[in-house]
Structure formats: C-alpha cells, structure tokens
Amino acid sequence: MVELSTDVLLSAEGISLSFGGTQAIRDVSFDVRTGELFAIIGPNGAGKTSIFNCISGVYHPQQGSITFRGDNLVGQPPEDIARLGVARMFQNIELFDNLTVLDNLMLGRALHMDYSVASAFLFSRKAKRQEVANREVVERLIEFLDIESHRSFPVGMLPYGVKKRVELGRALAMDPTLLLLDEPVAGMNVEETEDMARFILDVRAEMGVTMILVEHDMGLVMDLADRVLVLDFGERIALGSPAEVQADPNVIRAYLGEELTDTGEEIR
C-alpha cells in the first residue's frame, strides 16, 4: 500500500442533494488526499454517481461545499471544473464512434488549445505549434495504453475492452489532477478487468494522478483502494481502509451482509 499524503486535494463538507421529495445525498462529508486512490461503494441508488455529478458540476447540491485546490466547485459549470483539472471516465462509453482512436484522444486536448477558429482554418503558425505539441501528448498516451495497433481505426469498430481504454485515454488527455473513474470495468471479462486494473495502477504510479473510483467489483476496489467511503440510501455509513470497512458492523449489516473473503468474492 502506498503511503498516503496528508495534503487534502478535494474536500466535501455536508453535501445534500434532493430531487423533489427524493433525497439522493444526505449530509455527506469526506476528503481525498493528493495521490490517493479513493473508492466510493454502495448499492444501486446509494448516491455514488450523484456525488460524481456534484464534483463534476452536472448537479449542484442544495447544501454543503466541495473544495478542490482552494476553489469551491459548487455552482461552477462542468467546463470550468474540467479546466481546473478534474476529468471523468464515464461508465457508459461516451466516444465518437465514427472518429479514430487518435481523433477521440485529440478531443481530450481541446482544453489546452487556445487558437481562434480563423487560426485553425488558416492553420497558422500558432495552430501548427499547438497541434504538434498536443499530438505528441496523445501519441504518448496511445503507447502507454497499448493501443498503437488501433490508433487509426474508427472507435465503433473496436472491441469493448479497447473502447474502455480509449475512454480512459481521452480523460487522461486532459492532463487531470483528479480523475473520476465511474465503473471502469463494468461489462468487462476477467482478462479485460485485470488489464484495466493494471492501467489504473500505472496511471497512479507513473502520472501521479489522484483518483476517485466508483465500482461494483468489490474485489477490484479492495485490491486497489487506499480508503473506501460506503454509502447507503445517500448517507455515509463508513469511511476507512478496505480492512476497516470490511470489518465495520454497520457496513456488514447494511450493505455487505457478511464479511469479505480476501478476494472480495462474497460481496454481492
């Protein structure tokens, strides 16, 4: 286990979110430390994705604050939050099927391109310089994710597991400080899951990216996460290391039903 930093990168204090009479999140607080792989788990409807949507600016909580490197994210639009250094890998693949792998990853660099439409049309010196620089970043990501053989193929032609890697690559192309991983291994077979787990660890080790992981594969969560936040019906019921969470009576009673094996196979 990696020794955790004491520096807090993101802090959520008393977040509450409701839709009409439905309380999606109720007074939830947590912090994420620099370099940490932080996981959020809970059954369907527990509020996991709602928290991601609050962090990324899709939802605005009615109460509480979310602070990222000194900036309060609540009320900011998603594009501004992305510019601050927060990227997201979606559970459902959100790629452009008709574009190549290379072009999809280049879209992740859009925030780093500041030339005008006229410059792009005329392919000015500034546009050329930025295009070359951003292309180099994307080429490194293609090599890092071991998708060189697919780089020129339309994404719609690729196997599901490769598409998920491209989705991860597009998020990484934004050069995030914080990466939100929304069920990165959903729908994958065992081999694809193992590959994605390796890439997640490599992203952390080689790029130093802090990550928040939402995932139903409890074996993966318990193997990868430094700390785990457990939600139930929008409320925080536990927060601690994987071992602490597995042994927490409230978690066992409300969510797990029984303690995990070492591999996490008994969680349903």
Longest dimension (CA), the chain: 65
Please state the φ and ψ torsions of residue 251, each to the nearest 5 degrees.
-70, -45
8 A C-beta contact, residue 169 and residue 153 = no
User: Domain check: are 153 and 200 in the same one?
Assistant: no
* One-letter identity of residue 209: V
- Confidence (pLDDT) at 194: 94
Torsion of CA 257, 266, 3, 230, to 10 degrees: -30
Structure confidence at residue 77 as a pLDDT band (50, 70, 90): very high
Taking residue 268's Cβ as centre, other Cβ atoms within 10 Å add up to 10
- pLDDT at residue 265 is higher than 80: no
* CATH classification at residue 72: 3.40.50.300
- pLDDT at residue 259 is higher than 70: no
Q: How far apart are CA 209 and CA 206, in angstroms?
A: 8
DSSP state of 266: T
User: Domain check: are 185 and 264 in the same one?
Assistant: yes
User: Domain check: are 164 and 61 in the same one?
Assistant: no
User: Domain check: are 81 and 102 in the same one?
Assistant: no
User: Domain check: are 162 and 180 in the same one?
Assistant: no
User: Domain check: are 167 and 214 in the same one?
Assistant: no
Please state the φ and ψ torsions of residue 180, each to the nearest 5 degrees.
-95, 120
pLDDT, tens digit, 9 for 90 and up, residues 58-73: 999 999 999 999 899 9
- Confidence (pLDDT) at 119: 53
- Total domains in the chain come to 2
Mean of the pLDDT values across residues 22-35? 96
Please state the φ and ψ torsions of residue 179, each to the nearest 5 degrees.
-115, 125
Q: Please enumerate in sequence order all residues whose Cβ is within 8 A of that of 196, keeping only pairs 6 or more positions apart, or say none.
A: 161, 164, 165, 168, 184, 185, 188
Task: Pick the more confident residue, 266 or 28.
Answer: 28
Task: Tell me whether residue 182 is in a domain.
Answer: yes
User: Domain check: are 188 and 105 in the same one?
Assistant: no
pLDDT, tens digit, 9 for 90 and up, residues 35-51: 999 999 988 788 999 99
User: Domain check: are 190 and 149 in the same one?
Assistant: no
Structure confidence at residue 120 as a pLDDT band (50, 70, 90): very low
- Confidence (pLDDT) at 118: 45
- Domain final residue pick, 173, 204, 221: 173
Task: Tell me whether residue 236 is in a domain.
Answer: yes
Task: Pick the more confident residue, 114 or 22.
Answer: 22
User: Domain check: are 60 and 192 in the same one?
Assistant: yes
State the residue range of the domain holding 251. Answer: 1-85+176-268
- pLDDT at residue 184 is higher than 90: yes
- Confidence (pLDDT) at 260: 44
